[in-house]
């Protein structure tokens, strides 16, 4: 595949381009959006407090659990959320190691987003300038050593489908949380149905995360894309068609779900810390 023995034309310098549109806006917005989310979610994950409302400690209040902390394996020390699978923080947890329930959870959806085909394209541009934008010059410090995803380390992005399997599990877990949020624990010890802004926030979170997760390129491949014969199975054909619809809007769902999952945590955190009161709509 060697090219003819004629040298290629111009090699541009970093950010050099003949484009006259505002090509820098998109990578800048992506950079700002991702950085904001990463900084906030890291801060929120390390808090280990104010991640739920309701439960045994707040009777008559809708049970909202921050999606950053779901599922709660162990509650943070001195906290009883009513959501923990295995009770409080274990005694054997090393004292020198910071504990927060979210730190055990966030790496998994984080890995899903990090290896997502849409996000890859977006952060390669915004963070690594590879390229900054289409037909815009790249930083030259990398020299001729471009490896893309062909070689280590980025060949590991191929783990995406395993991250997807976990992300699908999370959709069901967050769906269960959203369902549970409609029930508050009354003073009579029984659960009562109720709808609040918080319950709707968590429900919308599941819908948007579902739209993002089930529009994944890997999922599209697995439900039917890997087969050449679509007509061989009506189920495959229908599933592929539905997932393709979502896949065409993958970027939209990626951003909406990213924003909403962060907003869900903010909302629950504000309610849990008493800054905000979850407005009851029904029940």
Partner 1 sequence: MASHTANSTESDTRTVVFRIWRGDVNGGQFVVYPVEVTQGMVVLDCVHKIQAEQAQDLACRWNCKAGKCGSCSAEINGKPSLMCMTRMDMMPVGEEIMVEPMQAFPIIRDLVTDVSWNFEVKKKIKPFKPRKPDNADGSWTVYQADVERAQEFRKCIECFLCQDVCHVLRDHHKHDEFIGPRSMVFTAALEMNPLDTEDRLADLKNRDGIGYCNITKCCTKVCPEHIAITDNAIIPLKERVVDEFYDPITRLFRMFRPKS
- Measured from the Cβ of residue 144, the count of other Cβ atoms closer than 10 Å reads 5
Out of 124, 183, 255, 276, the only residue in the binding site for partner 1 (CB under 8 A) is: 124
Among 80, 111, 161, 263, binds partner 1 (CB under 8 A): 161
Binding range to partner 1, per CB under 8 A, among 40-48, 126-134, 196-204, 256-264: 126-134
80 touches partner 1 (CB under 8 A): no
* Size of the residue set binding partner 1 (CB under 8 A): 55
Q: Does 23 bind partner 1 (CB under 8 A)?
A: yes
C-alpha–C-alpha distance, residues 128 and 14, integer Å: 12
CB of 261 to partner 1, least distance (A): 23
Does 225 sit near partner 1 (CB under 8 A)?
Answer: yes
Contacts of 125 (CB under 8 A, 6+ apart): 26, 27, 30, 131, 132, 133
* Touching partner 1, residues 235-254 (CB under 8 A): 237, 247-248, 250
Out of 33, 71, 88, 137, which residue is the one contacting partner 1 (CB under 8 A)? 137
Q: Classify residue 242 as exposed, middle or buried by CB count within 10 Å of its CB (0-12, 13-18, 19+).
A: middle
Among 8, 97, 235, 282, binds partner 1 (CB under 8 A): 8
Q: What is the CA radius of gyration of the chain?
A: 23
Q: Output 17 or 47, the one with its CB closest to partner 1.
A: 17
Q: Check residue 15 for interaction with partner 1 (CB under 8 A).
A: no
- Residue 27 makes contact with partner 1 by CB under 8 A: no
User: Which residue intervals of the chain are DSSP H helices?
Assistant: 25-47, 107-115, 117-126, 160-181, 197-213, 217-220, 234-248, 250-272
114 vs 124: CA distance, rounded Å: 11
Q: Could you give the CA distance from residue 211 to residue 99 in angstroms, rounded to a whole number?
A: 31
Distance between CA atoms of 187 and 190, rounded to whole angstroms?
A: 7
In angstroms, rounded to a whole number, what is the distance separating the alpha carbons of residues 175 and 173?
5
Any contact of residue 91 with partner 1 (CB under 8 A)?
Answer: no
Q: Please report whether residue 49 would count as binding partner 1 according to CB under 8 A.
A: no
Of residues 102 and 126, the one with the C-beta less far from partner 1: 126
Is residue 130 within the footprint of partner 1 (CB under 8 A)?
A: yes
What are the two backbone dihedrals, phi and then psi, of residue 31, each rounded to the nearest 5 degrees?
Answer: -60, -50
Q: Does 230 bind partner 1 (CB under 8 A)?
A: yes
Residues that bind partner 1 (CB under 8 A): 1-4, 6-12, 17-23, 117-118, 120-121, 124-125, 130-131, 134-135, 137-138, 144, 146-151, 154-155, 158, 161, 217-218, 220-221, 225-226, 228-231, 237, 247-248, 250
């Amino acid at each position: 595949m060697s090219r003819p023995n004629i040298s290629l034309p111009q090699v541009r310098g970093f950010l050099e381009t003949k484009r006259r549109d505002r090509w820098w806006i998109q990578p800048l917005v992506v950079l700002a959006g991702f950085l904001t989310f990463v900084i906030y979610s890291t801060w929120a994950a390390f808090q280990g407090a104010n991640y739920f409302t309701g439960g045994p400690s707040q009777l008559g209040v809708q049970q909202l659990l921050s999606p950053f902390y779901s599922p709660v394996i162990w509650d943070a020390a001195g906290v009883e959320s009513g959501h923990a699978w295995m009770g409080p923080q274990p005694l054997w947890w090393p004292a020198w190691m910071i504990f927060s329930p979210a730190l055990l959870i966030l790496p998994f959806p984080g890995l899903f987003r990090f290896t997502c085909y849409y996000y890859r394209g977006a952060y390669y541009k915004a963070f690594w300038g590879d390229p900054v934008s289409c037909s815009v010059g790249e930083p030259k410090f990398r020299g001729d050593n471009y490896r893309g995803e062909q070689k280590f380390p980025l060949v590991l992005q191929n783990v995406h489908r395993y991250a997807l399997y976990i992300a699908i599990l999370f959709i069901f877990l967050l769906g269960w949380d959203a369902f549970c949020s409609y029930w508050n624990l009354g003073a009579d010890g029984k659960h009562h149905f109720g709808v609040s802004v918080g319950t709707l926030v968590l429900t919308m979170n599941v819908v948007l995360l579902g739209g993002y997760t089930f529009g994944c390129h890997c999922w599209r491949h697995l439900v039917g894309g890997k087969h050449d014969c679509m007509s061989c199975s009506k189920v495959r054909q229908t599933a592929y068609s539905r997932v393709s619809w979502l896949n065409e809007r993958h970027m939209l769902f990626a951003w909406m779900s990213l924003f909403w999952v962060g907003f869900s945590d903010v909302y629950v955190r504000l309610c849990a810390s008493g800054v905000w009161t979850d407005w009851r709509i029904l029940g």
